[in-house]
Amino acid sequence: MLPNTENLNNEKTDSTDFIRSTIKEDNELNTFEGKVHTRFPPEPNGYLHLGHAKSICLNFGVASEFSGKCNLRFDDTNPTKENIEYVNAIREDVRWLGGDWEDREFYTSDYFEQLYEFAVELIRKGKAYVDNQSAEEIRTTRGTLSEPGQDSPYRTRSVEENLDLFQRMRSGEFPDGYCVLRAKIDMAAPNIVMRDPTLYRIRHASHQKTGNRWCIYPMYDYAHCISDSIEGITHSLCTLEFVNNKELYDWILNALEIYHPKQIEFARLNLTHTVLSKRKLIQLVSEKYVNGWDDPRMPTLCGLRRRGVPPEAIRNFCRKIGLARADSTVEYNLFEFCVREHLNEHAPRLMAVMDPVKLVIDNYEEGKIEFFDLPLYPEKNSFGTRKVPFARELFIERDDFRKDPPKKFHRLFVGSEVRLRYAYLITCQNAVYDEDGNLLEIHCTYDPQSKGGQAPDGRKVKGTIHWLSKQHSIPAEIRLYDHLFQSEDPNTAHEGGSFLDDINPHSMTSVHGVIEPYLASLENGSRVQFERVGYFAKDSDSTETLPVFNRTATLRDSWAKIEKKQ
Residue closer to ligand ATP by CB (options 49, 201) is: 49
Could you tell me the smallest distance in angstroms from the CB atom of residue 74 to ligand ATP? Answer: 9
What does the angle CA 347 – CA 352 – CA 358 come to, to the nearest 5 degrees?
165
Which of 20, 37, 52, 466 binds ligand ATP (CB under 6 A)? It is: 52
Could you tell me the smallest distance in angstroms from the CB atom of residue 80 to ligand ATP? Answer: 15
Could you tell me the smallest distance in angstroms from the CB atom of residue 145 to ligand ATP? Answer: 23
Residue closer to ligand ATP by CB (options 76, 531) is: 76
DSSP string, 153-222: TTTT--HHHHHHHHHHHHHT-S-TTS-EEEE-S-TT-SSGGGSS-EEEEE----BTTTBTS-SEEE-HHH
Residue closer to ligand ATP by CB (options 111, 166) is: 111
Residue closer to ligand ATP by CB (options 324, 440) is: 324
Single out the segment in contact with ligand ATP by CB under 6 A; choices: 37-45, 103-111, 158-166, 205-213. 37-45
Which of 123, 225, 238, 533 binds ligand ATP (CB under 6 A)? It is: 238
What 530-535 contacts at long range (C-beta under 8 Å, 24+ apart), as own/partner pairs, is: 530/350, 530/351, 530/352, 530/354, 530/466, 531/349, 531/350, 531/351, 531/421, 531/466, 532/465, 532/466, 532/558, 532/559, 533/352, 533/354, 533/466, 533/559, 535/308, 535/339, 535/340, 535/343, 535/347
Report CA 476 to chain centroid distance, whole Å.
26
d(CA 506, CA 508): 5
54 binds ligand ATP (CB under 6 A): yes
Single out the segment in contact with ligand ATP by CB under 6 A; choices: 51-59, 79-87, 126-134, 449-457. 51-59
Could you tell me the smallest distance in angstroms from the CB atom of residue 312 to ligand ATP? Answer: 19
Are 425 and 455 in contact by the 8 Å Cβ rule? The answer is: yes
Which of 8, 26, 36, 43 binds ligand ATP (CB under 6 A)? It is: 43
Could you tell me the smallest distance in angstroms from the CB atom of residue 228 to ligand ATP? Answer: 11
41 binds ligand ATP (CB under 6 A): yes
What does the angle CA 260 – CA 18 – CA 232 come to, to the nearest 5 degrees?
20
Could you tell me the smallest distance in angstroms from the CB atom of residue 321 to ligand ATP? Answer: 10
Residues with catalytic function: 43, 268, 278
- x/- site string to ligand ATP, residues 95 to 134, per CB under 6 A? ----------------------------------------
d(CA 261, CA 366): 77
Q: Nearest to ligand ATP by Cβ — which residue?
A: 51
273 binds ligand ATP (CB under 6 A): no
Helix (H, G, I), strand (E, B) or coil at 476: strand
Residue closer to ligand ATP by CB (options 93, 516) is: 93
Which of 36, 51, 308, 547 binds ligand ATP (CB under 6 A)? It is: 51
Q: For the sheet containing 534-538, what is the strand order?
A: 349-350, 527-530, 534-538, 548-554, 474-481, 508-515, 352-353
Q: Amino acid identity of 216? A: I
Residue closer to ligand ATP by CB (options 300, 464) is: 300
Helices (H), 454-532: 517-520
83 binds ligand ATP (CB under 6 A): no
Which of 27, 239, 385, 504 binds ligand ATP (CB under 6 A)? It is: 239
Could you tell me the smallest distance in angstroms from the CB atom of residue 99 to ligand ATP? Answer: 12
Query: Closest by alpha carbon to 274, among 323, 315, 335, 332?
Result: 332
> 485-514: which residues touch ligand ATP (CB under 6 A)?
none
* Chain contacts with ligand ATP (rule: CB under 6 A): 41-43, 51-52, 54-55, 238-239, 268-269, 276-279
